[in-house]
Structure 1
Amino acid sequence: MIIHQRAYARIGLMVNPSDGYFGKTISSAVTNFHA
């Protein structure tokens, strides 16, 4: 049995808790790049 799966690349932006965004994290998957 051979299993084929893809793991897509992810990007993330973490901000400082003392700024106006209160330390929120924004992330996204990039489907053009995979392993």
Structure 2
Amino acid sequence: MRIAALRERLRALGALPEHEARVLRDWVQGAPHERG
């Protein structure tokens, strides 16, 4: 999946820019996205 497609999907789900950045940062680092 391309990053642009992932960003579009996150936006379609209602993610704000800061949420999008956090999810992508965690994904790139291989970190779990289970923090509050």
TM range (shorter): under 0.3
Greater fraction strand: 1
Greater fraction helix: 2
Task: Report the TM-score, using the length of structure 2 for normalisation.
Answer: 0.19
